[in-house]
Amino acid sequence: MNGYSLISNKAKHTIGDGKSLQLLNNVPISVMLLISDSSLQTKQPGTQNGTVEFPQQLSIFLASSVAPHFGVMAQTTYDHQSDHFTMDNTDLRYANSRQLHGKTLAYGLDINNNPTVEDLWNSTPAWGFPYISSDQTPGSLAAPVIDGGLAQDVAGVGGYAMWDDHIYGDVTLYRSEHAGGTAPNTGTGFSYNISGAAPYWRFAWQQYLGKSYLEVGTYGMHMSSYPGAISGPTDSYTDPAFDFTLQRPFGSNALTVHGTYIHESSSMVATFEQGGAGMADHTLDEGRINATYYWGNKYNVTAQYFTLTGSDDPVLYAPAPITGSRTGSPNTNGYILQGSYWPVQNIDLTLAYTGYGHFNGSGINYDGSGRNASDNNTVYAAVWFNY
């Protein structure tokens, strides 16, 4: 809200040519290092189970105010599997405040590269649980566009405001920005090339209720896109969503509950005409709810239930070993059980188990090649350093 200026990093004045220049007293750099090991209940054919990634991820952050009313949170990340550094979640802000009807109105402008990365709560996709997870295990065939489909592949400009520390609103317009692609954009090789601008909205209400804290809100976006092109027929997606956050302290301990539900309606005219789908109109419904109990600042346990259901389409969701669907359905559900321990404040030791009831449409032989949903059950162990 305040342009990444929660801690004091004051600027000093340097006089050179008679004009003042404001510089930070120090460079606000932090580092995140993630080392992990993942094991599936049944390994993927032709692969080694229990592969250690050292590191799975290495991130460098610049996060602070950089001038009066201006701040930045910029993340660049090394990924083990791509063996490259890339621009990760990034948000630049102008922030200010004034009085409105006797209450404080905090407001600002922001530029970012991932819908929901500008959000304040851990109930929306960019900052939601699980905060770390395996990148070696099979994933569901489908997900709503707003759930990571445009991450680090767009540029958005928007404005936000919070009135009386209770009512929050944010509207942002996004355009495609393909990192690593040609400029100007040709659209070739990219699933989403936004036609015009894609509006994103976020509205929320928060309130302390005795010792408890509650937030309820809505967010979403609408997008028209040229798949693999910059002209011609388009696919359109509309993703309204709802979320909540509940927090309750118990002495030095605390309980936090997050939940979100996303409904996506899509008209994939271009994909259908190109033969990539068996019909144009589809829906997806995604839900997640997780509860975390914290013992002081040393331990926590989290349980999450997740579900995804959608329209059947045997062309869009075709059979394929491990990643496909025998039934033409994307339906997936399961749970995550996770425990974490902090021996010191900036080291997190995590052990998580993910179990599936259904995966890509079925529990038994879901891919048409004999693999069961439970074969993808995963044990994930990680050491997470933050400095």
Query: Per the omega criterion (within 30 degrees of 0), is the bond before 138 cis?
Result: no
Where is 275: in which H helix or E strand?
Answer: none
Per-residue pLDDT for 19 more than 60? Answer: no
Q: Which of 12-21, 123-132, 159-168, 198-207 has the lowest mean pLDDT?
A: 12-21
Distances (CA, A) of 198 to 109, 176, 238, 264, 280: 17, 9, 10, 15, 20
- Return the minimum-mean-pLDDT range out of 22-26, 136-140, 214-218: 22-26
Least confident interval from 87-91, 178-182, 189-193, 211-215 = 178-182
Tell me what pLDDT residue 190 has: 79
- Where exactly are the structural domains of the chain? 93-380
- For the chain, what is the mean pLDDT? 91
- pLDDT given at position 234: 93
Mean pLDDT of 84-97: 92
- pLDDT (0 to 100) of residue 139: 87
Q: What is the pLDDT of residue 116?
A: 96
Q: What is the mean pLDDT of residues 353-368?
A: 96
93-380: what fold?
Porin (2.40.160)
Pair type for strands 253-268 and 84-100 = unpaired
Instruction: Please report the sign of the dihedral spanned by the C-alpha atoms of residue 279, residue 280, residue 285, residue 286.
Output: positive
Q: Determine the pLDDT at residue 6.
A: 54
Question: Is residue 332 exposed (0-12), middle (13-18) or buried (19+ Cβ within 10 Å)?
Answer: buried
Q: What is the mean pLDDT of residues 141-158?
A: 94
Instruction: Name the residue among 242, 250, 237 with its Cα closest to residue 284.
Output: 237
- pLDDT band with cut points at 50, 70 and 90 for residue 14: low
| pTM (2 d.p.) | 0.91
Task: Pick the range with the lowest mean pLDDT from 178-187, 238-247, 256-265, 300-309.
Answer: 178-187
Report the C-alpha gap between 255 and 246 in whole angstroms: 8
